[in-house]
Chains A and B, each alone.
Chain A
Amino acid sequence: MKKIRNVCLAMLIQSALLTMLAPVIRAEDATTDGYVTRKEYDELKAQMLVMKKELDALKKEREAGPKQDYTERQSVVERHEVAPPRGEAVADTHKQVATEVEPPLVQPEGLLGTTKFLLAGWAEGMFEARNGNVSTFSASFNPIFLWELTPKILFDGRLEIEPSGGGTNVNLVNAQISYLLNDYVALGVGEFFSPSNVFVERFEPQWINKLPDRPIGIYHGVLPNISVGAQVRGGFPIGPTRVDYALYVSNGPTLNTFDAGTAGTLDFNSYTDNNDDKAIGGRVGFLPIPGVEVGYGFETSKPGFQGTTFADVRALVQSVDLEITRDSDLLKGRINLFAQYAWSKVDHAVYDPDGSLGFGPLPLTAKRDGGYAEIAYRPTELDSDFLRNLEMIFRWDHLSADPSGLGDPEETRWTIGLDYWLSPSTVIKAAYEWDKPNGERNRNALFFQTAMGF
């Protein structure tokens, strides 16, 4: 009896042991019931280590390179999210990469790495026959260097290269580094086109300028073309309309004091400063509807040389401008109306007070004005290709006499032109200009020009 009881006890113990060991035994066999094997566990662990290394590499790459644009990020994130999982752990790692780490930069086109460089600009050749002057051919090459270091930082610089005498003139026209602070504000430092001069800033390149020459008054007289300094600019919407603005501080102009003819005028081509006072200027534009803009610009400065009697003389330049571009069914084409008029005033001063320069003393409150208005029509809605590529232009431009009364007289010009567009940025121009300064013989001129933008 006792032996039977011992046998039963042994069987019970064996049963209990078998019950406890069964899962362990099952775990070591290949199985399909949802548990992972040691081999699978080791594989997943190895994959995790590889993923971790890749993640670290991504983090380093992200820190080293600039951020890519949102679209590219989204597409890479989506690719991560739709990648077929190799197990829950791998899928979780993918999600972590997609949500916490910005994916690596997508290489832009070309082999220049993350920066983007573009050589743009234009070239032109011209023939000019002006009454009183010898007729002449001229040419220029105007490369524009654009270098986008990041989507927020851009360098733009332009050279003007032209034959002159027995050699070649190379001028630096502008060189500016700009930074996009946000959607509505951009900062710029360097040599830039004066924002108050709309013609220079927008229409001066010869593949854009519809006539071969530039308007006096705006380009050659009353307004600054180029400023050296710093600017803040941008645009923002107000309801369905838009406002754009630019405010700058610069070296400013120099007051001409040594010559009877130009006394009281402002020299805007002197880019280095002659005193500690800086010019402040800007422009505000309003776009009530697309294609229409009106603007007001100004620049105030002390243009006299430091330490002279002209040091405290203040100059104020103001301008108004209008730009309209409309497609018209009535006229079966496009109309451009561009106009700008500017006034400058230099405070009262006495030029050549002791007569040592031979024209003084000359007391003067120097006022000057000038501007232009241009209308162009291109029949863009006609069926004929030839007619569609023609554009007719008419311009009036004006510059008042030098304020001393001893320099250049008042000048008003009327110009008509006919352009033929070979491509959107290649044009052949012909123009005739009536130009008769008061008291002088006429300086009428005939122009032919071709220009190509690239």
Chain B
Amino acid sequence: MNRMLNRSLLTACLLLFISASLTLLAEPKAKRKTATESSGLVSSDSYMGLTGEELWSNNCVRCHNIRPPTMYGNAQWDVIVHHMRLRANITGQEQRAIVAFLKSSK
């Protein structure tokens, strides 16, 4: 009985999980004013049509909250993004665009 209850709960959760995924994927991502747009800064570095800021936002937030560009110095960002490139498997172009954005956003 207990096993049946567990399986029912699991099935319900899986259905909820899948439906939430489909809903999220179907909904276009909201166009919000970004930090650099607000401050008048525009990153000129881009990769695959995405700016350094978009690459920074898209890649970092996949795992954790975004830390502001002012939190670290230029040399520290070099090391951090190098480390994250290895962890998140981003390309060299993405790494350079993200670093350029972070350094230009201070």
Q: Chain A residues in contact with chain B, CB under 8 A? A: 71, 108-110, 116-118, 120, 146-148, 151, 154, 156, 178, 180, 182-184, 186, 188, 201-203, 207-208, 233-237, 240, 242, 244-246, 285, 289-293, 322-330, 334-335, 337, 339, 373, 375, 381, 396, 398, 412, 414, 421, 424-425, 438, 453
CB pair A337–B89 under 8 Å, yes or no, is no
Q: Is the CB of A154 within 8 A of B21?
A: no
State whether the Cβ of B35 lies closer than 8 Å to any Cβ in chain A: no
4 tightest CB-CB pairs across the interface, nearest first? A183-B92, A244-B89, A235-B89, A424-B65
- What's the least CB distance linking B30 to chain A, in Å? 4
Besides A184-B92, A438-B2, 20 other CB < 8 A contacts? A146-B79, A147-B79, A148-B79, A151-B78, A154-B79, A183-B93, A208-B63, A233-B86, A235-B89, A244-B89, A245-B89, A291-B61, A322-B21, A324-B21, A325-B62, A328-B27, A335-B20, A337-B20, A424-B68, A438-B3
User: Is there an interface contact between B89 and A396, defined as CB atoms closer than 8 Å?
Assistant: no
Q: How far is the CA of A268 from the CA of B21 in the complex (A)?
A: 32
For this complex, 9 residue pairs linking A to B, each with C-beta atoms less than 8 Å apart, are A116-B79, A118-B76, A148-B82, A240-B48, A322-B21, A327-B30, A334-B61, A337-B17, A381-B32
* B89 to A, closest residue via Cβ: A244
CB <8 Å contact, A110 and B75: yes
Structural contact, B75 and A154, CB atoms closer than 8 A: no
> Which residues of chain A come closer than 8 Å to B79, judged between CB atoms?
116-118, 146-148, 154
Closest to A144 in B: B83
Number of interface residues of B (CB under 8 A): 49
Tell me, rounded to whole Å, the shortest Cβ–Cβ distance linking A60 to chain B.
Answer: 24
Known: A184-B91, A237-B91. A154 touches B86 (CB 8 A): yes
Q: Is B80 engaged at the interface, CB distance under 8 Å to the other chain?
A: yes
The yes or no answer to B41 lying at the interface (CB within 8 A) is no
Chain B 78-99 against A: per-residue CB contact (8 Å), 1 yes, 0 no? Answer: 1110110111111111000000
B76 neighbours in A (Cβ, 8 Å)? 116, 118
Is there contact, CB below 8 Å, between B66 and A424?
yes
* Chain A residues within an 8 Å CB radius of B68: 424
Question: Nearest-CB distance from A286 to chain B (Å)?
Answer: 11
In the complex the two chains form, is B92's CB within 8 Å of A182's CB?
A: yes
Q: Is B8 an interface residue (CB 8 A)?
A: no
Residues in A neighbouring B13, C-beta threshold 8 A: 373, 396
Bound CA–CA A103/B36 (angstroms)? 32
B74 adjacent to chain A (CB < 8 Å): yes
Docked CA distance A244–B6 (Å): 35
Find the B residue at minimum CB distance from A427: B65
Do A324 and B89 have beta carbons less than 8 Å apart?
no
